[in-house]
Structure 1
Amino acid sequence: MSYKVEKLPTAPAHIGEGPHWDIETQSLYFIDAYRGMIRRYSYDEKREYAAKVGKENVVSFIIPVDGARNKFAVGVGRRVAIVAWDGKSPTAEVERIAFEVETDNKYQLNRFNDAKADPKGRLFAGTMREIDGDLFGYRLGALYSVGEGLTVTKLRSNIGLSNGMTWNEAKEKMYYIDSTDLNVREFRYNFEEGKILDDGCITIDFSEDGKRPNFVPDGMTIDSDGFLYVAGFGASKVFKVNPDNGKVELSIELPCEQITSCAFGGPNLDILYVTSGYMGRDGKDKPAPAGATFQVTGLQAKGLPMAKVKL
């Protein structure tokens, strides 16, 4: 397959993450985690806007709030904040804290990581321990869902690094990544009630003969045919995976190592946007174009509309 990778005119991100394509504004929203910034790439203007979120040093995700213009759910520490941003100003205001998890002292080094709204607008968000050297050293994270009345439900515990998630309504499936498990797990999912119905099974295992590869699976999305697209942090790739047989159908090559996540967007939902970071786990910055945001065209695939969150 012939595809084309292009660097977008965006500033390099320490850790760019959590891409969300908003059909209404034809914009790609994402975050610059360790700068405490939310960012927007405008498809029509072919330019980027960025804002500092209050006094926050770290943010983890941004998802537009359904029915509320210029309002976003943003992960800040172990809290989810409702943030007001016009999409252009250099600062964004935290209006209120919607909820907080893991208030016990043993979780003080935890924070939210990836989050998404399921196709019905329910927020799913997971936590991780703020990495202090060993990504695989702790399993203090969890995966949560948020229902009506801000009812927070813990879905899974003993998580190392909660990461990518996506859904397939046609097959009544949810897919989920704990990066430290080095796999994608598939669950039966009730879309009407927003419930995981089983303990799941492994869709694809990225370990090599039982050993860690030189990357971890990170963020993830799905196309309209049900193929998964998994970002390989450290692999310089996004893997297109067939969840029916666990095979990698295509390795999309990117010009930097630390690929963090991906999302389909554009007017026809046929552009795969890919985020990356330049801040290495060893504390040393990676060379350009690390930290860039890319677009991949020519994949002959289309994504699904991403849901706004109902909070």
Structure 2
Amino acid sequence: MATASFCLEPAGRVAVSNRLGEGIVWDSLSEAFVWTDIHERLLFRLHWPSMRLEQFSLPLRLGSFALTRDPSRILAAFEIGFAWYDLESGSCDWICRPALPRGVRFNDGRVDRKGRFVAGTMVEDARAAGSPTAGMLYRLESSGEVTELLDGIGITNSLCWSPDGLTMYHADSTVGVVNAYDYGAQLERRREVARIMPPGVPDGATVDAEGRIWVALWGGGCVATYSPDGLLLDNIPVPVSQPTCVALGGQDLDVLAITSAHDGLPQTARSRETDAGGVFFFRTSTRGVEECRVAL
């Protein structure tokens, strides 16, 4: 591992005890970190640096979401499909519900550099789905149509793009490999960027302004940072075993935010990991890339 260290100092934590905190992004319009607790059907918005926390109830499990020009409105990848959702009124306008197999739901998603929302599914019940790799990766086009980008997936994760938008990163958590693709109308020239060794599993990821990839390692108790060609640059430890997703935000895009989960932890581990499900913040020596907003 290279000797680079990007994490300078702790910058706070929020003890929300999320069952499955995920999908954190920085919203520069509301100056807040936004994330979902998938299984509890909740969305959180933490204003930075005041630490004022808002919580919104949701009608369904929210795998991931896209920011819009209206901070109260998101494009949601609910467990069964894509919808516009208003956080204040609770109104839900469906855009598309792909024909998902039973036992499959939407999981990780992100907006590409052209403003299109890309989200993938995961297999929760392989017997019901008929296969442990019945998941797919979808792109919601500006026309409202859906393009299938990838199939044969167990759990979609680590979805993010290089700063220029020409490379997409994606992991199937069941395989433990972060892959890179040339990104255009379709995905081309797949190559392996990082192979994660157990007990760590690649979960949510982001890219900084220099193109480095930051990956939360579920089960590994850390965030790993890789160069675009796959060199491991740093391992940033967190005080819980199940970090789930990362974002670089704050007004200077230099605050690393890390969600986590207590879902699935044995009782003995829960008693040791009193911070499990919390969100952790570190001031870093790098800068992120502003989160893209959906252009639909």
The answer, yes or no, to whether TM exceeds 0.5 is yes
Aligned pair partner of 1:296 in 282, 285, 289: 282
Percent of aligned pairs with the same residue?
26
SS of match in other structure, 1:200: strand
Conserved in 2, the CA contact under 8 Å of 1:219 and 1:260?
Answer: yes
Which region of structure 1 is more displaced relative to structure 2, 226-235 or 70-79? 70-79
Q: Does 1:84 align with 2:86?
A: yes
**CA separation in 1, counterparts of 2:117 and 2:251?**
25
Q: 1:283 to 1:125 in 2, by over 3 A?
A: farther
Aligned to 1:273: 257
TM-score of the pair, normalised by structure 2:
0.90
* CA-based RMSD: 2.1
Residue of structure 2 equivalent to 1:63: 66
Alignment-derived partner of residue 214 in structure 1: 199
- Alignment map for 1:1-311 (pairs within 5 Å): 1=5, 3-54=8-59, 56=60, 58-65=61-68, 67-86=69-88, 93-103=90-100, 107-130=101-124, 138-170=132-164, 172-190=166-184, 195-207=185-197, 213-244=198-229, 246-280=230-264, 286=270, 287-297=273-283, 299-311=284-296
Runs (5+) with no aligned partner, structure 1: 87-91, 208-212
- 1:82-121 CA-to-partner distances (Å, cap 9, x unmatched) read 11124xxxxx613211111124xxx121100011001111
Superposed CA deviations along residues 190-247 of structure 1, whole A, max 9, x for unmatched, are 3xxxx2341411011124xxxxx11210010011111100110000100011122x22
SS of the aligned residue for 2:170 comes to: strand
CA shift in 2, pair 1:121/1:138, >3 Å: same
Q: Read off the aligned partner of 1:73 and give its amino acid letter.
A: L
Q: Structure 2 vs 1, CA of residues 138 and 7 (structure 1 numbering), >3 Å: closer, same or farther? A: farther
What SS does the corresponding residue of 1:150 show, helix, strand or coil? Answer: coil
SS of residue in 1 equivalent to 2:252: coil
More contact order relative to length (CA 8 Å, sep ≥ 6): 2
Paired positions, count? 286
AA matched with 1:241: Y
| Unaligned runs of at least 5 residues, structure 2 | none
For residues 144 and 158 of structure 1, what CA distance do their matches in structure 2 show?
A: 12
Q: Deviations over 1:227-278 (max 9, x none)?
A: 100110000100011122x221100000000010101000000001100001
Distance 1:285 1:36, change over 3 A: farther
